[in-house]
Chains A and B, each alone.
With several copies, the nearest count.
Chain A
Amino acid sequence: MQLSRDQLLRAYRDMATIRAFEERVHVEFAAGVLPGFVHLYAGEEASAVGVCMNLGDGDVIASTHRGHGHCIAKGCDVKAMMKELYGSVEGLCRGKGGSMHIADLSRGMLGANGIVGGGPPLICGAALSAKVMKTGGVAVAFVGDGGSNQGTTLESFNLARVWELPAVFVIEDNGYAESTASSWAVGGDQLKRAEGFGLPARRVDGHDFFDVHDAAGEAITRARSGGGPSLLHVVLDRYYSHFEGDAGTYRGPGEVDRLRAEKDCLKRFRKRVIESALLGKDQVDTIDREVAALIETSVREARTAAKPSAADVLTDVYLSY
């Protein structure tokens, strides 16, 4: 798929925003100012952005516990996201959700999910809505390698197949579920599993935006045009440990440094677009600066944003009672 200059700029901006957001959240968390359980997406940006660039507001995604990247890629407001992490009432979920439940249905972002495997069934439903109401929409579930062993995920493969849903399952295989290697925990093979359920499947290099974008485009186009569900096995890496607080000692010596040096989807993207003169270095640098400013402002605003009051505990449980 040939991408326009605007699309390339957007791709870079989104990936850079995710990276900057996560690097900063890491710092903020370490400083002790951020509450809660936080899982960072840095290193995996090409997956979220490569997939979501193929989607519009009418399409729906379900994310995982590692949800910031998917949020940003799906167009959620970055400042409101930061405020949510800070527990502000001005946050995307008015401070009630936090990192693990960040969502914005108006953007088709059906939520991060504190339950591994929580998203795939929901995505079958979003795809069903699109199919019944003939919106032309597509629904995408992001799932980790760990989440690929959850029965909810496996059942969803089959349901999507037998209902012929416009759904795509994206397995983001970063090699670990917490400290456990996917090479140990995943019996068999992701592509063969998918094929076992009758889903067309492709494996892609998750460090390469273009690779992801292309394969996701194929799957999403198939879904949109009535061809039913398929699966993407995206092989990538996370830079940080499982959650902020995990020492990550299960990693090999120098593993993270090597990943950062050799497997950086942002660097790879920059190199490719600049070397092939698709974008100018200055354009990319400008984005870097704008992104840095955006994150700086987000944090500044989030720090002083209004906190909820105790009375807010009681609202939003039911629409009517």
Chain B
Amino acid sequence: MSRKTYRQAVSEALRHEMRRDLRVVIMGEDVSGGLGAPGEQDAWGGPQGVTKGLMPEFGRGRVLDTPISESAFIGAAAGAAATGLRPVAELMFVDFMGVCFDQIFNQAAKFRYMFGGRAVTPLVIRTQYGAGLRAASQHSQSLYPIFTHIPGLKVVLPSSAYEAKGLLIQAIRDDDPVVFFEHKALYDDEEEVPDEAYTIPFGEANLTREGSDATIVAFGRMVKFANQVADSLEQDGIGCTVIDPRTTSPLDSDAILDSVAETGRLVVVDEASPRCNMATDIAALVAEHAFGALKAPVRMITPPHTPVPFAPELEDAYIPSPARIEEAVRGVLAAKR
């Protein structure tokens, strides 16, 4: 056990699994880097340095740099998964899904079903998401609702370093295709993380705070904000349960419904665009299955229905803030049925 960053946690998970299972290979643009170049080899390790050091240890045979051809290499990862390997492919930013989505949602996600259960596709796609780095419209999106919408895909949103390591090891050992969303503003966050390998099961929410006045469901980086809000409200004697579902598909509906049964009040915080997103997914779940327990309207805290803007003032206004979340919790507490 020692303090590790989210970046290190992801990196360790990859290293553990590559040591443990020869079928695990990784691929992506510059996951090693320097290929064919005159200078340093393993020069990049991906844009965040997450995969640096893997090529020297495991060789170019298992750490595969790729041309900028996402359809071909994400599809290759799907094809390799269906034929015996356990690839971890890096889609550098989830914003690039548009050039390769077919291989993810029509191929990898559907093999098992279309082929009558006679295929396994143990594929992991690691990808960066989220706003906050002034990377603007095409490098800042939180497109996990789209992947959650697709039957056959599992979708993971690690909210901290500890979560990242355990969930990624689980993802690699899982026999279904998994899309693993790393928030680009979390890579430097640190916490205690075991040195050894461990798994966190999918579909089991984590209650990061417990309280009986209101339930906050949040995803990825928004869990951090929700925790801050819960801590601040605690000072005022308001107890919040913060639920980090960890995986949006499968979803731990029970944890959410049980908590709402107790608190009767729900705020959902989602960094994704507001239409057909996880906030609506959770709000709808509760409106259907915990309606009787609700003491106030559900509140959804999301960005506006716009692309992510560039200028810092704009982006800061775009991202759901702890202040907005706190205001919403106070709102549901004040509201009466």
- A–B contact (CB under 8 angstroms): yes
A residues whose Cβ falls under 8 Å from a Cβ of B: 35-37, 60, 62, 87-89, 91-98, 100-101, 103-106, 110-111, 113-118, 120-126, 128-133, 139, 146-147, 149-152, 155-156, 158-159, 162-163, 176-187, 248-253, 255, 307-310, 312-321
A321 CB to closest chain B CB, in angstroms? 5
Stretch at the interface among B236-244, B278-286, B300-308: B300-308
Check if A101 sits within 8 Å of B138, measured CB to CB.
yes
> Residues of A contacting B292 with CB < 8 Å?
none
A187 CB to closest chain B CB, in angstroms? 8
Check if B69 sits within 8 Å of A159, measured CB to CB.
yes
> Which of A95, A97, A130, A255 contacts B38 (CB under 8 A)?
A255
> Which of A103, A186, A253 contacts B119 (CB under 8 A)?
A103
> Which of A117, A122, A132 contacts B82 (CB under 8 A)?
A122
> Which of A60, A96, A125, A252 contacts B314 (CB under 8 A)?
A96
8 smallest CB-CB distances across A and B, nearest first, come from A121-B75, A125-B79, A184-B36, A181-B36, A114-B138, A94-B116, A252-B38, A98-B310
Check if A101 sits within 8 Å of B114, measured CB to CB.
yes
* B34 sits at the interface (CB 8 A): yes
Check if B76 sits within 8 Å of A114, measured CB to CB.
no
Query: Bound state CA distance, A186 and B68, in angstroms?
Result: 10
B308 CB to closest chain A CB, in angstroms? 9
Check if A105 sits within 8 Å of B82, measured CB to CB.
yes
Q: A115-B106, A151-B69 are in contact. Are A97 and B36 (CB under 8 A)?
A: no
B residues whose Cβ falls under 8 Å from a Cβ of A: 23, 25, 29-30, 33-41, 43-44, 61-62, 64-85, 87, 95-96, 98-99, 102-103, 106-107, 110-120, 133-139, 151-152, 154, 174-176, 203, 250, 304-307, 309-314, 316-318
> Residues of A contacting B174 with CB < 8 Å?
320
Check if A316 sits within 8 Å of B103, measured CB to CB.
no
Check if B106 sits within 8 Å of A114, measured CB to CB.
yes
B117 CB to closest chain A CB, in angstroms? 4
B264 CB to closest chain A CB, in angstroms? 29
Check if A115 sits within 8 Å of B250, measured CB to CB.
no
Check if A313 sits within 8 Å of B82, measured CB to CB.
no
Query: Bound state CA distance, A179 and B175, in angstroms?
Result: 33
B126 CB to closest chain A CB, in angstroms? 17
Q: A36-B134, A96-B113, A132-B25 are in contact. Are A151 and B71 (CB under 8 A)?
A: yes
Name the residue of chain A whose CB is nearest to the CB of B303.
A313
Check if A133 sits within 8 Å of B23, measured CB to CB.
yes
Q: A150-B69, A177-B68, A320-B175 are in contact. Are A118 and B106 (CB under 8 A)?
A: yes
Check if A129 sits within 8 Å of B84, measured CB to CB.
yes
Query: Bound state CA distance, A60 and B99, in angstroms?
Result: 23
Name the residue of chain B whose CB is nearest to the CB of A109.
B115
Check if A251 sits within 8 Å of B79, measured CB to CB.
no
Query: Bound state CA distance, A176 and B67, in angstroms?
Result: 11
> Residues of A contacting B36 with CB < 8 Å?
180-185
Check if B135 sits within 8 Å of A36, measured CB to CB.
yes
> Residues of B contacting A155 with CB < 8 Å?
67, 69, 71-72
> Which of B64, B68, B79, B95 contacts A163 (CB under 8 A)?
B64
> Residues of A contacting B85 with CB < 8 Å?
125, 128-129, 132-133
> Residues of A contacting B83 with CB < 8 Å?
60, 105, 110, 125-126, 129-130, 139
Query: Bound state CA distance, A151 and B307, in angstroms?
Result: 25
B154 CB to closest chain A CB, in angstroms? 7
Name the residue of chain A whose CB is nearest to the CB of B201.
A320
Query: Bound state CA distance, A111 and B74, in angstroms?
Result: 17
Query: Bound state CA distance, A123 and B154, in angstroms?
Result: 23
Instruction: Point out which of A62, A106, A110, A139 has the most chain B C-beta atoms below 10 A from its C-beta.
Output: A110
Name the residue of chain B whose CB is nearest to the CB of A187.
B67
Query: Bound state CA distance, A151 and B71, in angstroms?
Result: 8
Query: Bound state CA distance, A7 and B50, in angstroms?
Result: 49
Name the residue of chain B whose CB is nearest to the CB of A133.
B84
Query: Bound state CA distance, A314 and B274, in angstroms?
Result: 13
> Residues of B contacting A98 with CB < 8 Å?
134, 136, 310-311
Query: Bound state CA distance, A123 and B318, in angstroms?
Result: 31
Query: Bound state CA distance, A313 and B151, in angstroms?
Result: 12
Check if B307 sits within 8 Å of A317, measured CB to CB.
yes
Check if B72 sits within 8 Å of A158, measured CB to CB.
yes
Q: A126-B83, A319-B176 are in contact. Are A93 and B114 (CB under 8 A)?
A: yes
Q: A122-B82, A124-B72 are in contact. Are A111 and B111 (CB under 8 A)?
A: yes
In the assembled complex, 13 residue pairs joining A and B whose CB atoms fall closer than 8 Å, in A order, are A87-B314, A105-B118, A121-B73, A122-B79, A152-B75, A180-B29, A180-B36, A180-B67, A186-B67, A249-B40, A319-B120, A320-B176, A321-B250
A64 CB to closest chain B CB, in angstroms? 11
> Which of B79, B96, B139 contacts A124 (CB under 8 A)?
B79
A172 CB to closest chain B CB, in angstroms? 14
Query: Bound state CA distance, A251 and B54, in angstroms?
Result: 20
Instruction: Point out which of A122, A131, A248 has the most chain B C-beta atoms below 10 A from its C-beta.
Output: A122
> Residues of A contacting B137 with CB < 8 Å?
96-97, 101, 114
Name the residue of chain A whose CB is nearest to the CB of B40.
A249
Query: Bound state CA distance, A92 and B119, in angstroms?
Result: 12
Given contacts A125-B78, A146-B67, A314-B306, 11 further A-B contacts (CB under 8 A): A87-B312, A100-B136, A110-B82, A152-B72, A156-B69, A185-B36, A185-B67, A249-B34, A307-B311, A318-B112, A319-B120
Query: Bound state CA distance, A309 and B103, in angstroms?
Result: 29
